[in-house]
A = this chain, B = another copy of it.
């Protein structure tokens, strides 16, 4: 349906401009002051319009463990996560809705869901997730989280000669499932895409990585994986491949301009050059990196090397929410502590570009979304600048990115459809979602994980920590 947003503030390369924007069908048709109105009129006065952000890495079903897991490094945190899995397809659907709602209400219009699968119900997990995303109307890429090694294999051995139990699915079984998921669900023209997304080198065989590359080439899909999130993974890569994990991924041909890599905390300068050369995208998940003590990703170095950087929230069990504005704020400011040269620091306007166009580039959609340009899809977010949390009035984007905005999103459009209006999703009943999330859960204290106990001593040995 055509519509015109009148007298709205937009960001330009040099500052701000007040314009009218006319959307025809699913795309931006005109941007200019005082356009002839057509279709529905939207009053843009005292509002800011930005391109939608891409929540470029998350795991939707982790919403069920929000705030639950104690402070642990990734490897032990994972053992806790695995001991409280989501086993219910209704929950999968609800957490997809919840993840989408939080993303939309914090400026995102697209989510990259590295989706944890229910064993034995893999296709159904993807289906339930997509049902949620289609219902609320968000653009979504789903990368079913596949692997073929048991959890212990993700920790370096360091001469302990541990016996790692075989995993219940082989590379071939994973790839058969993935191909079925692609054929059944990959509908990019409808805003739902499948990615090939092996968990990471820590839990995946060569055969699985190569099969993913082959499928992504055959179906023209994006690739996604976790990369060097922790110091332990850096060690593991050397143990496994005799080189860095980036050199390994480059050697097998996984890196490309449609490859996005979550975390990238422990890369050296040569690794960074490889990412730049292959035009791969780094997805920075600052909140998760802090919570799990993974480290501070060298984001300023990435930018200086010309590596594209996007922002993600990561799963809610490690972040512990899906607020894109929070992830962007911390992912912007955090790096100021890593470089005294303040001229390298990221300012709020650059952060917006990273979160929108950087995110779009990472999913090979920079020609279609990520900026306000005539011809691009109307994935738009309208912010209410009269909200108390954005006052007093100063620099609108400074307020939005550096501040603590609270319920500032007025409207969201994806593909020209208004899926949030007056701060509420239009297609789902958010009050019912709230009640459902309440009903399907209860207050529990700290988790006691037998898997943690099993793995902790070895983890401490590998990380050079004193015996327990």
What residues of chain B lie closer than 8 Å to A465, measured between beta carbons? 340-341
Is the pair A231, B333 in contact by a Cβ cutoff of 8 Å? Answer: no
Cα distance A430–B406 in the bound complex, in angstroms: 15
Is the pair B406, A336 in contact by a Cβ cutoff of 8 Å? Answer: no
Indicate whether A289 reaches chain B with its CB closer than 8 angstroms. yes
Indicate whether A334 reaches chain B with its CB closer than 8 angstroms. yes
Is the pair A66, B337 in contact by a Cβ cutoff of 8 Å? Answer: no
What residues of chain B lie closer than 8 Å to A85, measured between beta carbons? none
Is the pair B388, A433 in contact by a Cβ cutoff of 8 Å? Answer: yes
What residues of chain B lie closer than 8 Å to A433, measured between beta carbons? 388
Is the pair B337, A289 in contact by a Cβ cutoff of 8 Å? Answer: yes
Cα distance A401–B67 in the bound complex, in angstroms: 8
Is the pair A393, B443 in contact by a Cβ cutoff of 8 Å? Answer: yes
**Residue-by-residue, is A389-404 near B (CB-CB < 8 Å gives 1, otherwise 0)?**
1111111111111111
Q: Which of B64, B102, B293, B399 is close to A66, meaning CB atoms less than 8 Å apart?
A: B399
Q: How many copies does the complex hold?
A: 2
Is the pair B395, A290 in contact by a Cβ cutoff of 8 Å? Answer: no
Indicate whether A68 reaches chain B with its CB closer than 8 angstroms. yes
Indicate whether A294 reaches chain B with its CB closer than 8 angstroms. yes
Is the pair B395, A443 in contact by a Cβ cutoff of 8 Å? Answer: yes
Indicate whether A375 reaches chain B with its CB closer than 8 angstroms. no
Tell me the minimal C-beta distance from A11 to chain B in angstroms: 11
- Chain A, 177-192, CB within 8 A of any chain B CB: none
**Residue-by-residue, is A434-460 near B (CB-CB < 8 Å gives 1, otherwise 0)?**
100110111111100000000000000
> Which of A23-31, A33-41, A320-328, A354-362 has 4 or more CB atoms under 8 Å from chain B?
A320-328
What residues of chain B lie closer than 8 Å to A443, measured between beta carbons? 9, 16, 385, 393-396
Tell me the minimal C-beta distance from A336 to chain B in angstroms: 3
Write the chain B residue with the least CB distance to A348.
Answer: B67
What residues of chain B lie closer than 8 Å to A16, measured between beta carbons? 443, 445
Is the pair B394, A66 in contact by a Cβ cutoff of 8 Å? Answer: yes
Cα distance A104–B419 in the bound complex, in angstroms: 33
Write the chain B residue with the least CB distance to A398.
Answer: B67
Cα distance A290–B333 in the bound complex, in angstroms: 5
What residues of chain B lie closer than 8 Å to A404, measured between beta carbons? 102, 320-321, 323, 326
Indicate whether A154 reaches chain B with its CB closer than 8 angstroms. no
| A337, A389, A404 interface centre (most CB from chain B within 10 Å) | A404
What residues of chain B lie closer than 8 Å to A345, measured between beta carbons? 71, 293
- Chain A, 267-298, CB within 8 A of any chain B CB: 287, 289-296
Indicate whether A221 reaches chain B with its CB closer than 8 angstroms. no
* A68-B394, A441-B394 known; A337-B403 Cβ under 8 A: no
Indicate whether A339 reaches chain B with its CB closer than 8 angstroms. yes
Indicate whether A204 reaches chain B with its CB closer than 8 angstroms. no
Is the pair A76, B342 in contact by a Cβ cutoff of 8 Å? Answer: yes
- Chain A, 219-276, CB within 8 A of any chain B CB: 231
Q: List the 9 shortest-distance A-B pairs measured between CB atoms, nearest first.
A: A293-B336, A321-B404, A67-B398, A67-B399, A392-B441, A68-B394, A391-B437, A290-B333, A393-B441
Cβ contacts A to B, 15 pairs, < 8 Å: A15-B445, A16-B443, A64-B392, A67-B394, A67-B401, A68-B398, A71-B342, A73-B342, A290-B334, A290-B336, A321-B389, A321-B403, A386-B438, A392-B437, A396-B443
Residues of A within 8 A of B (CB): 9, 15-16, 63-73, 76, 98, 102, 231, 287, 289-296, 320-321, 323, 326, 330, 333-334, 336-337, 339-342, 345-348, 385-386, 388-404, 406-407, 430, 433-434, 437-438, 440-446, 463-465
Interface contacts beyond A66-B391, A68-B398, A340-B464: sample of 19 additional A-B pairs, CB < 8 Å, sorted by A: A64-B392, A66-B402, A67-B402, A69-B398, A71-B346, A71-B347, A72-B342, A290-B333, A293-B339, A293-B342, A295-B337, A321-B404, A341-B465, A385-B443, A391-B438, A392-B441, A394-B443, A406-B406, A406-B407
